[in-house]
Amino acid sequence: MQLLHSAASPFVRKVMVTLHETGQMDDVEIVNVKTTPVAPNPALISANPLGKIPALMRTNGPTLYDSRVICRFLNDRAKAELYPESRIWDTLTLEATGDAIMDAAVLIVYEERFRTPENVSMDWIEGQWAKVSRALDALGTRWMSHLQGRMDMGHIAVGCALGYLDYRHEARSWRTGRDTLSDWYAEFAQRPSMIATMPSG
């Protein structure tokens, strides 16, 4: 299998952490791809018509794309129990919350990077950050008991989301007023899978 990859993407990191946690790194060739929303890589488009990473090219089936699809596939392949049936809806909702934080945080970066300065919308940027802030508050008030339990895909998604906030939005100081969530992330970030997948670029 080949994973179309960019080290800066939080969604790619989520897949990479899953590969590490499930012991499948040796089964996948990492293929670095340079792509942007306005100039997608032709090789990436041939694998994923949406032109987005990550994309997992399989030898015995169509390419998988969207990190949730890829992570679910990798979990089933390894029988890793990152989607425990006993709390499946909580796990999926927590994963969706982490993914939504990533999505809003990436859109802020795109707004600033791919628009001309006169066309950047601060209202749009602040609207996206408001989504992030509400999600962080929800994690702290509704989800800490889950996050402090046995690791599942919800933990991985949230960990990668918080790592991306540190990477691209450090000035926003997401930890302020969220000590419990901050303490949880400080411990989670020390997992070997997280250390091995620190973003760059």
131-173 confidence digits (pLDDT tens):
999 999 999 999 999 999 999 999 999 999 999 999 999 999 9
Tell me: pLDDT of 18 over 80. yes
pLDDT digits (tens, 9 = 90+) for 54-90: 999 998 899 999 999 999 999 999 999 999 999 999 9
- Domain boundaries, position 176: 85-196
For the chain, the C-alpha Rg in angstroms (whole number) is 17
Q: Does 150 share its domain with 54?
A: no
CATH label of the domain that carries residue 126:
1.20.1050.10
Lowest mean per-residue pLDDT among 26-30, 31-35, 136-140, 189-193: 31-35
Question: How many independent structural domains does the chain possess?
Answer: 2
Domain boundary among 78, 99, 116: 78
Q: Which two tokens stand for residue 130?
A: 């408001």
Domain boundary among 78, 111, 146: 78
Which residues contact residue 17 at a Cβ distance below 8 angstroms, ignoring those fewer than 6 apart? 156, 159, 160, 191, 193, 194, 197
Q: Does 89 share its domain with 134?
A: yes
Q: In 3D, which of 150, 55, 143 has the Cα closest to residue 97?
A: 143
Tell me what percent of the residues of the chain surpass a pLDDT of 90.
81
Classify residue 89: in a domain, yes or no.
yes
